[in-house]
Chains A and B, each alone.
Chain A
Amino acid sequence: MLKRAQALFLRSLGALLALAAVGKANAESAASQLNMPQGVTEVSQAAYDIHMIMMWICTVIGIAVFGFMFYVMYAHRKSRGAVAENFHENLLVELLWTIVPAIILIVMAIPATTALLKVYDTENADIDIKVTGYQWKWQYEYLGEGVKFMSELRTSQDEIYGREPKGEHYLREVTEPLVIPAGKKVRFLITGNDVIHSWWVPDFGVKRDAVPGLFTSAWAKTDKVGTYVGECTELCGKGHAFMPVVVEVKEQEEYDQWLAAKKQEAAEYASTIGKQWSFDELMAKGEEVYNRSCAGCHAVNGEGIPGVFPALKDSAIALGPVEEHLRVVVDGVSGTAMQAFADQLSEADIAAVIHYERNAWGNDMGDITQPVDVLNYKQGK
């Protein structure tokens, strides 16, 4: 019987090693990565260093303790003729193994404290970026620059559900990454819009919860140009695994160009807000916005999820006065999962989506909502 257990053990060990080898072969990805990344900032380096110190200390203690234990298990077996002694107390060793670990801990506390001080050193930043967690995407706002955008997962549902092969950057790609300049100290001011999210970039050593109603701060400064991928690390609902963080670090010059282009875009958009859209243009745009931002809860067919999210098809709001409809979408409904979209969607997007909701799935209001109506509603308050 014992032999069989042994064989089983060896076989599963073999399987494990084989699988590990497969992991190694998959070189390009981080597949074989077993350890914390060292990352590219002072903070991530500090986290890595203290992690390694702790790991080695634990390894050494572990080898000593378990080594002794395995020796005892071998040497003092009854089957080997061991006869039990009867001692059961020794004040000296008791004191020793209380005091020695306590001293080791006090010594560990010193680098642990310095590392933490580094994490909290958020003063004197060159750039401030506000990061807001939404269900299920991130919004980045360059404070004082008038630049603000949403960053959402770009991987298609078809890839996720296996109807299409998964791309190289599966779940690690977004519509628009956060861009920061190399060599500048960037401070992130992190908050949440609906539930708690958590913004994590492992290579920066930055992980901070995005709590509604609260700002937390973190910082990063790196010289290494490149793309860094992170994740949302606080359970935030069904899209939790589908809101990655992607940050591009660019050389200062490139960053300046990028920022200038973003500002230009914003200015252009502002100038077109007065444009009158046609019924069909609004329908087309509205469908796109709806499927991206609303269908997650209210379903593509407008029927919602019974008992959880209300239907819009044949609903009182979609078939009622447009004022009320604007109020719900722009301001949200407090105390429910219906968030305020005022800051998440542009005026044109909100107009289009309202128009779509009033005229799709057999809803047949026939009226038209223009971006300027949204603007007026917002300013009318």
Chain B
Amino acid sequence: MAHGPATLADGWVKYASRWIFTTNHKDIGTLYLWFSFAMFILGGAFAMIIRAELFQPGMQLIEPEFFNQMTTMHGLVMVFGAIMPAFVGLANWLIPMMIGAPDMALPRMNNLSFWILPFAFAILVATLFMEGGGPNFGWTFYAPLSTTYAPDTVNYFIFGVHIMGASSIMGSINIIATVMNMRAPGMTYMKMPLFVWTWLITAFLLVAVMPVLAGAVTMMLMDINFGTSFFDAAGGGDPVLFQHVFWFFGHPEVYIIILPAFGVVSQIIPTFSRKPLFGYSSMVYATASIAFMSFIVWAHHMFTVGMPIAGELYFMYATMLIAVPTGVKVFNWITTMYKGALTYETPMLFSIAFVILFTFGGFTGLMLSIAAADMQYHDTYFVVAHFHYVMVAGAVFSGTAAVYYWLPKWCGKMYDETMGKVQFWIAFIGFNIAFMPQHFLGLAGMPRRYADYGLQFADWNMVSSIGAFMYGAAQILFLFNVIRTITHGKPVNDPQVWEGAEGLEWTVDTPAPYHTFEKPPEVK
């Protein structure tokens, strides 16, 4: 390669075109990561509005109608805008470097799959400013609230979801193609780093269920605009059908979110334990069986919808079983640490917190799988607490750990360890103050998606809001730390960066050159 990428010094037109037309996996990874962080801040702002309104009983700041738009947009933006693109960004940066490939298999499609995303979210967010307001039917958008009773802007929502789906499908096809075809000689499947494995499996999940989501929103579109009655009981349709279709997508979706996070943690824990991952092959099998099982448990989200008892029992048993491979992963992580030589840098702190809090969320998941008890938990704050333990303390903590872990490799500068640790503790404590009380609220009877509540819930809601603000503040510190690392960080030149790090990405120079592995490495 004759010359490197355009920098600001080449003028902003050149610089902007570099990012717009780039087919370089590292550039695209960077774009994904910054985009997802922007969405994380936006979704976080929505959450702050929600928690501010719920700080006290009564309606103080916003109207219930807008409150519903906030809960909906918070969920959609966080799931589709923040978490998923963040892990696609990590995949772009890391998969080629981990398997010894020069780039992704389909670089132009890679560019496209990123650049349609900002449009999808611009459309989605623009609905907030339109007549009728944004989507107000929850991120699960159950019909007929999302069809017959929805604001007209629901059509924009549907369009946005279609674009996101297309982006995800293209991204996944690219990952599958890359992993299957571009591994360096000697990099057999069972030698791939676990992050690559979890992403390969996730990509298959995405390709399988994104079309189902597209089907669901297309049926909505038909019901709303073309007089069909898929989900309209009055026309012979069935609102429950919507839920089956949605959760057939939705349950695998939660594993799409968590599996790459498992992968990240499986890279970081061995590094800071200075000991290889325990039970590598069982980790791979556990991931695959979790992925398979995620297709056959969807109706555990519908225990109160009035399914026949045989259905309830089946979905209960199947859901309980997921705890087995999940447990295997947790035991493997802990045994990796056992008899290692542990140090607690920021990425390790986030990874350990991940193991603890994710497992806690797994326990509440197991409780939720018991149908008779779920009849009490369902659609209360107990469920909200459950999925924030697995998605925030799970996926988001792991994403944060990943950024701290690989940031020195990406930009050749070391982040400020003290600031990282402070951020960790604020995030960890804030998170638990925000979400632990939500278990109590749910058990005591507070339903989710409530703009207002009875006085008996006042205390814990206030505690929860304080914790949420704290957790929000930690993210500002995170942003600050990352930017400061890029501008003022201490230079690192050691390819290895971390004493215990293993894998091909630690064999290339630091910072990683624009093009790596133009000649495939030899893997023994």
Residues of A within 8 A of B372 (CB): 43, 46-47, 50, 112, 115-116, 118-119
Given A241-B453, A308-B132: A119 and B240 interface contact (C-beta under 8 Å): no
Q: Mark B60-71, 1 if CB is under 8 A from A, else 0.
A: 100111001000
- In Å, the complex CA distance between A236 and B59 comes to 18
Apart from the given pairs A33-B445, A238-B65, 14 other A-B contacts in the complex at a CB distance below 8 Å:
A12-B433, A15-B466, A26-B459, A50-B373, A51-B376, A68-B334, A73-B352, A97-B327, A101-B327, A118-B372, A202-B445, A231-B445, A241-B452, A308-B132
Q: Which residue of chain B is the closest to A234 with respect to CB atoms?
A: B379
Q: Nearest chain-B residue to A108 (Cβ)?
A: B320
Nearest B-chain residue to A71, judged by Cβ: B338
Contact B363 A58 (CB under 8 A): yes
Could you jot down 8 A-B contacts, CB within 8 Å?
A1-B422, A34-B444, A79-B343, A98-B324, A207-B379, A213-B239, A236-B145, A238-B64
B361 to chain A, nearest CB (A): 11
The answer to whether B306 touches A83 (Cβ under 8 A) is: no
Report chain A residues within 8 Å CB of B327: 97-98, 101
The reply to whether A240 and B418 contact each other, CB–CB distance below 8 Å, is: no
A272 at the interface (CB under 8 A from B): no
List the one stretch of A16-24, A139-147, A178-186, A285-293 in contact with chain B. Answer: A16-24
The answer on a CB contact under 8 Å between B145 and A86 is no
Residues of B within 8 A of A (CB): 57-60, 63-65, 68, 130-133, 136-138, 142, 144-145, 148-149, 151-152, 227, 232-235, 238-240, 273-282, 304-306, 309, 312-313, 316-317, 320-321, 323-324, 327-328, 330-331, 334-344, 352, 355-356, 359-360, 363-364, 366-367, 370-373, 375-376, 378-380, 418, 421-422, 425-426, 429, 433, 440, 443-445, 447-456, 458-460, 462-463, 466, 470, 500
* Closest-CB distance, A371 to chain B (whole angstroms): 27
Does the CB pair A235–B449 fall under 8 Å?
A: yes
A108 to B320, CA, bound (A): 9
CA distance A19 to B429 in the complex (A): 16
Say whether B444 contacts A30, CB under 8 Å: yes
Whether, in the assembled complex, A269 has its beta carbon less than 8 Å from a beta carbon of chain B, the answer is: no
Inter-chain contact A109/B317, CB cutoff 8 Å: yes
Which 6 A-B pairs have CB atoms at the shortest separation, nearest pair first? Answer: A213-B233, A216-B306, A307-B131, A115-B372, A23-B459, A58-B363
A376 interface hit (Cβ, 8 Å): no
Flag if B328 contacts A94 (CB, 8 Å): yes
> Hey, which chain B residues are within 8 Å of A58, CB to CB?
363-364, 366-367
Q: Judging by beta carbons under 8 Å apart, are A211 and B240 in contact?
A: yes
Known: A51-B373, A93-B335. A29 touches B340 (CB 8 A): no
In the complex, the chain A residue whose C-beta lies closest to that of B463 is A19
Interface centre among A22, A33, A205 (most CB of B within 10 A): A33
A212 and B341 in contact, given A88-B276, A88-B278, A160-B58 (Cβ under 8 angstroms): no
**Which of B234, B331, B364, B455 contacts A334, CB < 8 Å?**
B234
| Cβ–Cβ contact A76 & B337, under 8 A | yes
Is the C-beta of A377 less than 8 angstroms from some C-beta in chain B?
no
For A33, what are the chain B residues with a Cβ–Cβ distance below 8 Å?
Answer: 440, 443-445, 456
Instruction: Name which residue of chain B comes closest to A74, CB basis.
Output: B342
CB contact list, A161-193 vs B, under 8 A: 161-162, 166, 168, 170-172, 190
In the complex, the number of residue pairs spanning A and B with C-beta atoms less than 8 Å apart equals 336
The answer to the question of A8 belonging to the interface, with a C-beta cut-off of 8 Å to chain B, is yes
Q: Contact between B376 and A207 (Cβ–Cβ < 8 Å)? A: yes
* A12 pairs with B470, CB closer than 8 A: yes
**Does A316 sit within 8 A of B, measured CB to CB?**
no
Alpha-carbon distance A334/B232, docked complex (angstroms): 10
CA of A30 to CA of B440, assembled, Å? 11
Residues of B within 8 A of A23 (CB): 459-460
Interfacial chain B residues near A170, Cβ < 8 Å: 57, 454-455
Please give, as numbers and ranges, the residues of chain A lying within 8 Å of B280 by CB-CB distance. Answer: 88-89
**Smallest CB separation, B443 vs chain A (Å):** 5
Partner of A307, one of B151, B277, B449, B463: B151
| A23-B459, A36-B443, A77-B342 known; A47 vs B373 contact (CB < 8 Å) | yes
A35-B443 CB under 8 A given contacts A16-B463, A195-B145, A212-B233 = yes
Chain A residues contacting B462 (CB-CB under 8 Å) are 19
Question: Which one of B233, B418, B426, B447 contacts A214 once the chains associate, using CB atoms below 8 Å?
Answer: B233
A274 within 8 Å of B (CB atoms): no
Q: CB-CB < 8 A to A237: which residues of B?
A: 68, 136, 145, 149
Contacting pair A171 B373 (CB below 8 A):
no
The listed residue (B131, B234, B341) touching A84 by CB distance below 8 A is B341
Query: Are A240 and B449 in touch, CB under 8 angstroms?
Result: yes
A125 within 8 A of B: no
**Cα(A307)–Cα(B234), bound, Å:** 24
A9/B429 in contact, CB under 8 A: yes
Q: Smallest distance from the beta carbon of B357 to chain A beta carbons, Å? A: 11
A240 to B356 alpha-carbon distance, docked (Å): 35
A242 within 8 A of B: yes
A116 to chain B: which residues have CB within 8 Å?
309, 312-313, 316, 371-372
Pick from A118, A214, A240: contact of B450, CB below 8 A: A240
* A30 cross-chain contacts in B, Cβ below 8 A: 444-445, 456
Q: Are A337 and B366 in contact (CB under 8 A)?
A: no
- Complex Cα distance, B477 from A8, in Å, reads 16
A82 and B340 contacting across the interface, CB-CB below 8 Å: yes
Chain A residues within an 8 Å CB radius of B355 = 69
Whether, in the assembled complex, A346 has its beta carbon less than 8 Å from a beta carbon of chain B, the answer is no
Q: Assess whether A166 is in contact with B444, with CB atoms less than 8 Å apart.
A: no
Chain A residues within an 8 Å CB radius of B445 = 30, 33, 37, 202, 230-231
- B148 and A161 contacting across the interface, CB-CB below 8 Å: no
Q: Please, which residues of chain B bring their CB within 8 A of the CB of A172?
A: 454
Assess the A66–B356 pair: CB atoms within 8 A: yes
A214: B residues at CB distance < 8 A: 233, 238-240, 306
A232 lies within 8 A of chain B by Cβ:
yes
Name the interface residues of A110-146: CB closer than 8 Å to any CB of B: 112-113, 115-120, 135
- Of the candidates B136, B316, B341, the one whose C-beta lies within 8 Å of that of A76 is B341
Question: Judging by beta carbons under 8 Å apart, are A65 and B317 in contact?
Answer: no
Q: Would you call A233 an interface residue if the criterion is a C-beta within 8 Å of the partner chain's C-beta atoms?
A: yes
**Interface status of A320 (Cβ within 8 A of chain B):** no
Chain B CB count within 10 A is highest, among A46, A112, A230, A241, for: A241
On whether the beta carbons of A161 and B447 are closer than 8 Å, the reply is no
Is there an interface contact between B337 and A72, defined as CB atoms closer than 8 Å? yes
Give every chain A residue within 8 A of B470 (Cβ-Cβ).
12
Does A69 contact B356, Cβ atoms closer than 8 Å? yes
Give the docked Cα–Cα distance between A303 and B102 (Å).
63
Q: How far is the CB of A85 from chain B (nearest CB, A)?
A: 4
